[in-house]
């Protein structure tokens, strides 16, 4: 087990008199994960339960409305040593958490995708409220609204009771996620200090920086901000003393000298550089998104790379969520990940959402298909970054020596721009994170079959469509009158397509190609040879990628082929899998899930992803 030993220092403060006049009060966050895990309703702390229940709740909260599988919950609570009763225990924790949250309106713990998901308004979670406050403060500061910026900063500092999940002893996976969140929390606090400096609140900024350094004494960025703050206050001696304290701390604790930023800043203070004060004020100001119509650099061009796409129907809730999240102001780039089994319509949804908000990103829209449809080799991060640079007008992009240079140059070039980036067909690994910009004006949409562990991203998992949505899609493709003329046949066709958007689109195209045939006849044709129809009318890139993955897996694990061939619509229990796969069944099932060939069922078994069953005749 990993014990997070972190010194907690509170930066809470009372609201200034009259602050509510410029910053209207909102319901206080009820779920507190900054500091110790707490539930607070109407100003009263409620009993949550013991340490393991708090870890269970913490694991759900930090996944931000996304389902958390049972195995990940078990690892978070017991690390590598879950008891035999782990599943039953987790079920009990879910019941206890439901009781604890019963008075928090709008919250719910639901069983989802073989795990649990916490549905809660992010405004009622202190960490997510703090993220929004930093974004609002940055936006207000950029437009010159000092009162609102000060109100945001005051409330955000009030929320910061300490590190996320302080005192909880949890498994490696959750501990790593908490570490990342705490790193981001510190970055958010530094952004708030920058807001205060921009407003002239030097004394408050210095106080908060001292508190932060009590928690993270090795953070050179905090020391640099403190030196700058003290110098802006006219306390040159204090700035030099801060450098000496920073150097002594770094040398004593880890045996290194201060980095270049601190060294250069120290020299500037010593020489009382006349440009220092102005430069410091500029360096502590938040980088606001650049106004439209002000291109950066003489060679800047505006790329418009989003593919044309096709007609779109359904997924209304997911579309609204994505569209709103992409344009929400914040201190970091907006990142959304759309995942789901092959053929679930991930790319179509992402593309439609991107086109819907494209006009909010005047510096351009970039697109890359990492799956490289039609080719055997995937696109690498280096190739994608070089392509982005070329599209942004970097004439020297083709001369870049390697991945590190390409990524660094892309992040530098995109900083300060308002770009929308769509990364299609990503896979787990470092490739995607290397392509993420750092500028607050950017937004990124990623599609992938499996959920990607990208911190601070919104994750949307697409399942099968409902009957009403599926019928609407058929009507959109083949005509309302024709589909409604034979509702029974239309419903049967939807079921034969397994409610899968890719298959429904292929069926809709087939209907338009058979205008004189009754709907029941087309249903019979689809039932008889779905593989051929999908091969002809479906998405060739999706089919090719699934076929490639399937053939690679059965080559590496021949014993998996009978299971994949036999599953179809049927559920395979773990006992069935053990009989078919032998002693390696757990390892093989995990591999098949990772490759998105099978998926867990709510009952604890497995089934093939829908498209695999439909394409069986083409896979061998």
**pLDDT tens for residues 503-560?**
888 888 888 888 888 888 888 888 887 888 887 877 777 777 787 788 888 888 888 8
Half-sphere exposure of 240 (CA within 13 A, CB side): 10
- 148-157, 297-306, 554-563, range with greatest mean pLDDT: 148-157
The encoded tokens of residue 16 equal: 């200034």
How many angstroms separate the CA atoms of 595 and 47, rounded? 41
Task: Give dist(CA 382, CA 403) in Å, integer.
Answer: 5
CATH class belonging to 2-212: mainly alpha
Identify the residue whose tokens are 């309302």: 480
Q: Tell me the two tokens of residue 110.
A: 């639901």
Answer yes or no: same fold for 2-212 and 540-619: yes
pTM > 0.75: no
Of 359, 360, 337, 361, whose CA–CA distance to 349 is shortest? 337
**What is the fold, at CATH topology level, of the domain defined by 217-288?**
1.25.40
Q: Is the pLDDT of residue 367 over 90?
A: yes
E strand intervals along 142-194: 169-170
pLDDT at 149: 84
pLDDT in tens, 8-46: 333 333 333 334 444 445 677 888 999 889 888 877 888
Q: Are 435 and 381 within 8 A, CB to CB? A: yes
On the question of pLDDT at 152 being above 70, the answer is yes
Closest CA to 310 of 609, 610, 537: 537
Fold of 316-462: Rossmann fold (3.40.50)
pLDDT given at position 332: 75
Q: State residue 533 phi and psi, 5-degree precision.
A: -65, -45
Minimum mean pLDDT among 131-135, 186-190, 283-287: which range?
283-287
Q: Where are the domains of the chain?
A: 2-212, 217-288, 316-462, 467-537, 540-619
State the Cα torsion 358-360-362-364 to the nearest 10°. -30
Task: Specify whether the CB–CB gap between 354 and 306 falls below 8 A.
Answer: yes
Question: In this predicted structure, what is the pLDDT of residue 389?
Answer: 87
CATH of range 540-619; options 1.10.260, 1.10.760, 1.10.357, 1.10.10: 1.10.10
């Amino acid at each position: 087990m990993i014990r997070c030993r972190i010194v907690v220092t509170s930066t809470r403060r009372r609201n200034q008199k009259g602050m509510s006049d410029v910053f209207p009060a909102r319901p206080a966050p009820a779920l507190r994960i900054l500091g110790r895990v707490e539930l607070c309703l109407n100003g009263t702390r409620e009993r949550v339960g013991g340490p393991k229940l708090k870890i269970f709740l913490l694991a759900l909260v930090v996944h931000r409305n996304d389902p958390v599988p049972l195995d990940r919950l078990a690892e978070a609570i017991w690390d590598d040593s879950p008891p035999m009763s782990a599943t039953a225990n987790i079920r009990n924790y879910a019941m206890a958490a439901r009781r604890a949250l019963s008075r928090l309106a709008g919250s719910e713990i639901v069983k989802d995708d073989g795990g649990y998901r916490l549905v809660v308004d992010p405004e009622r979670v202190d960490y997510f409220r703090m993220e929004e406050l930093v974004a609002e403060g940055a936006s207000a500061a950029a437009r010159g609204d000092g009162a609102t910026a000060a109100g945001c900063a005051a409330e955000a500092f009030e929320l910061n009771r300490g590190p996320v999940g302080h005192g909880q002893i949890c498994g490696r996976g959750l501990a790593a996620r908490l570490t990342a969140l705490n790193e981001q929390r510190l970055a958010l606090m530094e952004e708030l200090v920058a807001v205060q400096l921009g407003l002239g609140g030097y004394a408050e900024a210095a106080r908060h920086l001292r508190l932060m350094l009590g928690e993270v004494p090795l953070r050179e960025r905090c020391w640099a901000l403190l030196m700058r703050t003290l110098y802006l206050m006219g306390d040159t001696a204090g700035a030099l003393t801060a450098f000496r304290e920073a150097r002594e701390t770094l040398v004593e604790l880890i045996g290194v000298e201060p980095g270049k930023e601190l060294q250069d800043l120290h020299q500037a203070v010593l020489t009382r550089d006349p440009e220092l004060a102005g430069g410091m004020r500029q360096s502590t100001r938040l980088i606001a998104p650049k106004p439209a119509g002000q291109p950066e650099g003489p060679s800047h061009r505006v790329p418009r790379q989003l593919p044309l796409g096709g007609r779109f129907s359904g997924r209304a809730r997911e579309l609204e969520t994505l569209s709103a999240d992409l344009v929400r102001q914040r201190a970091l780039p907006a990142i959304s990940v759309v995942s789901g089994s092959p053929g679930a319509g991930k790319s179509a949804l992402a593309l439609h959402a991107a086109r819907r908000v494209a006009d909010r990103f005047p510096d351009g829209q970039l697109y890359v298909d990492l799956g490289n449809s039609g080719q055997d080799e995937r696109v690498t991060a280096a190739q994608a970054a070089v392509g982005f640079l070329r599209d942004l007008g970097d004439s020297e992009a083709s001369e870049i020596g390697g991945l590190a240079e390409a990524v660094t140059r892309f992040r530098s070039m995109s900083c300060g721009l308002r770009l929308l980036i769509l990364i299609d067909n990503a896979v787990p690994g470092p490739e995607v994170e290397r392509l993420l910009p750092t500028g607050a004006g950017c937004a990124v949409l990623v599609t992938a079959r499996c959920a990607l562990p990208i911190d601070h991203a919104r994750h949307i998992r697409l399942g099968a469509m409902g009957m009403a949505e599926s019928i609407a899609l058929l009507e959109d493709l083949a005509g309302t009158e024709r589909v409604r003329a034979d509702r029974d046949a239309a419903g049967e066709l939807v079921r034969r397509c397994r409610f899968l958007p890719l298959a429904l689109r292929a069926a809709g195209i087939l209907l338009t190609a058979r205008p004189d045939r009754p709907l029941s006849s087309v249903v019979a044709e689809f039932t008889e040879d779905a593989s051929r129809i999908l091969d002809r009318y479906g998405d060739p890139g999706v089919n090719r990628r699934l076929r490639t993955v399937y053939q690679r897996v059965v080559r590496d694990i021949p014993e998996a082929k009978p299971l994949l061939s036999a599953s179809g619509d049927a559920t395979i229990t773990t006992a069935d899998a053990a009989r078919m796969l032998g002693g390696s069944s757990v390892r093989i099932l995990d591999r098949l899930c990772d490759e998105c060939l099978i998926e867990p069922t709510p009952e604890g078994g497995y089934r093939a992803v829908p498209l695999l069953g439909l394409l069986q005749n083409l896979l061998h």
